Amino acid sequence: MGKIGKEKNTKNKAKHSKQLARKKNKIKTDQQQHKARLKAIVQKANENEL
């Protein structure tokens, strides 16, 4: 038998998936920024060698 009345847990699930998506995006951008920073450091080091 189905539940009568308001749905259970739908707001919390939506909120949670939003938070997880935000966290994943933040981690992804942080990794990209870190990679770019390291790339710039390596380029500068290589220029100084020549």
Q: Is the pLDDT of residue 30 over 80?
A: yes
Q: Is residue 13 part of a domain?
A: no
Q: Is residue 14 part of a domain?
A: no
Q: Is residue 30 part of a domain?
A: yes
Q: Is residue 7 part of a domain?
A: no
Report the amino acid identity of residue 30: D
Instruction: Tally the domains of the chain.
Output: 1
Q: Is residue 39 part of a domain?
A: yes
Q: What is the pLDDT of residues 1-27, one digit of tens each?
A: 667 777 777 778 889 999 999 999 999
Q: Is residue 27 part of a domain?
A: yes
- Which residues form the domain of 50? 23-50
Q: Is residue 9 part of a domain?
A: no
Return the ∠ at Cα 40 (arms to 42 and 31), rounded to 5°. 105
Rounded to whole angstroms, how far apart are CA atoms 3 and 6?
8
pTM: 0.65
